[in-house]
A and B are shown apart, each in its own frame.
Chain A
Amino acid sequence: MTNDNLKIKLSELLPSATYDEGGEWLNVDIDHKDWLYFANSLRNHAELNFDYLFCLTCVDWKTHLTMVYHLESTQYRHAAVIKSKLDRTQPEIESVSHIWRTADFHEREVYELFGVNFLNHPDMRLLILPEGWEGRNPLRKDFEDPVNMIKL
């Protein structure tokens, strides 16, 4: 499916979504409350069949956080990028680890590095950082560590 066709299809599923076609992939901006419904549709719709989540990350824009999901269909070979703004003080979004298993570890990584809380995640705890790092999120732009960090 081409990006234009994808856009038409996704608009049918979620009319509130907005689009940005600047790059190789179709960028879809959605409200974080719609994410669980939208993710289920992307995965299970017969013509879309996004069965491969190949990147899950987060961006700190200082004013807000943005979750970024890169999805691809191994059947149709089309891809899309789903983005969703989150409140920086209390970032929360539904977990999709039951839809794409790979999201389990990726969401734990975003949880420890950005402090995003994934609702209904089966095992929401630190992935790589040692114990005691809860609440300190090193990839936030305002992260400070006077012991280990030499500021430039």
Chain B
Amino acid sequence: MDVKAEAPSNSPVRGESTAQPSLVQNAVDNKHISKSEASGLVASHIGRGREGAKFPGEVHSTPSGGILVTAIDDVINWARSNSLWPLVFGTSCCAIEMMSTASAKYDWSRFGFEVARATPRQADVIIIAGTIVNKMAPVLKRLYDQMADPKYVIAMGACATSGGPFFYNTYSVVKGADHVIPVDVYIAGCPPRPEALLHALITLQKKIKMGLTREQIRSESKVESK
């Protein structure tokens, strides 16, 4: 089966170095402005773009090497989004799909989710893979609190999104993990396929690359859900 999402380009030079310098050169030729001003203009365009996958900046070749023009916030977001280590956290069958996504066939390391960490201190993203029961809720909250900022949350599957199959007639299940901690990306499915989890992870990366703060990301996801 096809994985629909595009792999983000990890090479800063690819794509940018061929197309953009000529653009800068044109700007210099036509508008008679200094080269540094022009490259600043282009860089800001690229950095704020919503494409997400490209490196936010440009490289100018010089005889002794090259000059990189960019905004430092964009580089930080770009770096952050390409190195999101998930927490080892699974409470039911969604965890099986999550393990599959981590394994050789789907291999989320390709997208920068390098390795799942068994401690919240070293994790950047928590994938709530499974049912959250009332007794688990304080544990989940504590794990989230122990993670270092910036931290992100993905609610995987029906249980984590709304309680799912346990919405009615159960005494023990939390009806949606967002009652406990804030969620950035929701995935539908029971359980979702690994492709769906990869799509959610890449969606999170795109949100981070947009340059929004955590609070902005969350207010945006609230608008989307309305």
Query: How far is it, in angstroms, between the C-alpha of A138 and the C-alpha of B173 when the chains are bound?
Result: 13
Mask of B132-145 contacts with A, CB within 8 angstroms, 1/0: 00110000000000
Task: State whether B169 touches A151 (Cβ < 8 A).
Answer: yes
Task: State whether A138 touches B169 (Cβ < 8 A).
Answer: no
Task: State whether B171 touches A150 (Cβ < 8 A).
Answer: no
Mask of A125-152 contacts with B, CB within 8 angstroms, 1/0: 0001010000000100001010011111
- Which 6 pairs across A and B sit closest by C-beta, in order of nearness? A152-B168, A145-B171, A148-B171, A138-B171, A149-B171, A150-B168
Task: State whether B169 touches A150 (Cβ < 8 A).
Answer: yes
Cβ-closest chain B residue relative to A128: B135
Query: How far is it, in angstroms, between the C-alpha of A138 and the C-alpha of B169 when the chains are bound?
Result: 10
Task: State whether B134 touches A148 (Cβ < 8 A).
Answer: yes
Partner of A143 from the list B134, B135, B167, B171 (CB cut-off 8 Å) is B171
Query: How far is it, in angstroms, between the C-alpha of A138 and the C-alpha of B175 when the chains are bound?
Result: 18
- Min C-beta distance of A147 to chain B, whole Å: 9
Residue B170 at the chain A interface, CB threshold 8 Å: yes
Task: State whether B135 touches A150 (Cβ < 8 A).
Answer: no
Q: Which residues on the A side are within 8 Å of B169 (C-beta)?
A: 149-152
Residue B103 at the chain A interface, CB threshold 8 Å: no
Instruction: Please report whether the interface of chain B is mostly helix, strand, loop or mixed according to DSSP.
Output: loop
- Min C-beta distance of B132 to chain A, whole Å: 13
Residue B172 at the chain A interface, CB threshold 8 Å: yes
- Min C-beta distance of A141 to chain B, whole Å: 11
Max count, chain A CB within 10 A of own CB: residue among B168, B169, B171: B171
- Min C-beta distance of A130 to chain B, whole Å: 6
Q: Which residues on the A side are within 8 Å of B168 (C-beta)?
A: 150-152
Cβ-closest chain B residue relative to A130: B135
Mask of A45-89 contacts with B, CB within 8 angstroms, 1/0: 000000000000000000000000000000000000000000000
21 A/B residue pairs, CB under 8 Å, sorted by A:
A128-B135, A130-B135, A138-B171, A138-B172, A143-B171, A145-B171, A148-B134, A148-B170, A148-B171, A148-B172, A149-B169, A149-B170, A149-B171, A150-B167, A150-B168, A150-B169, A150-B175, A151-B168, A151-B169, A152-B168, A152-B169
Query: How far is it, in angstroms, between the C-alpha of A152 and the C-alpha of B170 when the chains are bound?
Result: 10
Query: How far is it, in angstroms, between the C-alpha of A138 and the C-alpha of B172 when the chains are bound?
Result: 9
- Min C-beta distance of A143 to chain B, whole Å: 7
Query: How far is it, in angstroms, between the C-alpha of A89 and the C-alpha of B167 when the chains are bound?
Result: 30
Cβ-closest chain A residue relative to B170: A149
Q: Which residues on the B side are within 8 Å of A130 (C-beta)?
A: 135
Q: Which residues on the A side are within 8 Å of B170 (C-beta)?
A: 148-149
Query: How far is it, in angstroms, between the C-alpha of A110 and the C-alpha of B110 when the chains are bound?
Result: 47
- Min C-beta distance of B116 to chain A, whole Å: 27
Q: Which residues on the A side are within 8 Å of B171 (C-beta)?
A: 138, 143, 145, 148-149
Query: How far is it, in angstroms, between the C-alpha of A146 and the C-alpha of B203 when the chains are bound?
Result: 38
Enumerate B125-181 residues with CB–CB distance to A below 8 Å.
Answer: 134-135, 167-172, 175
Q: Which residues on the B side are within 8 Å of A145 (C-beta)?
A: 171
Cβ-closest chain B residue relative to A136: B171
Query: How far is it, in angstroms, between the C-alpha of A150 and the C-alpha of B175 when the chains are bound?
Result: 10
Max count, chain A CB within 10 A of own CB: residue among B135, B172, B175: B172
Query: How far is it, in angstroms, between the C-alpha of A32 and the C-alpha of B135 when the chains are bound?
Result: 34
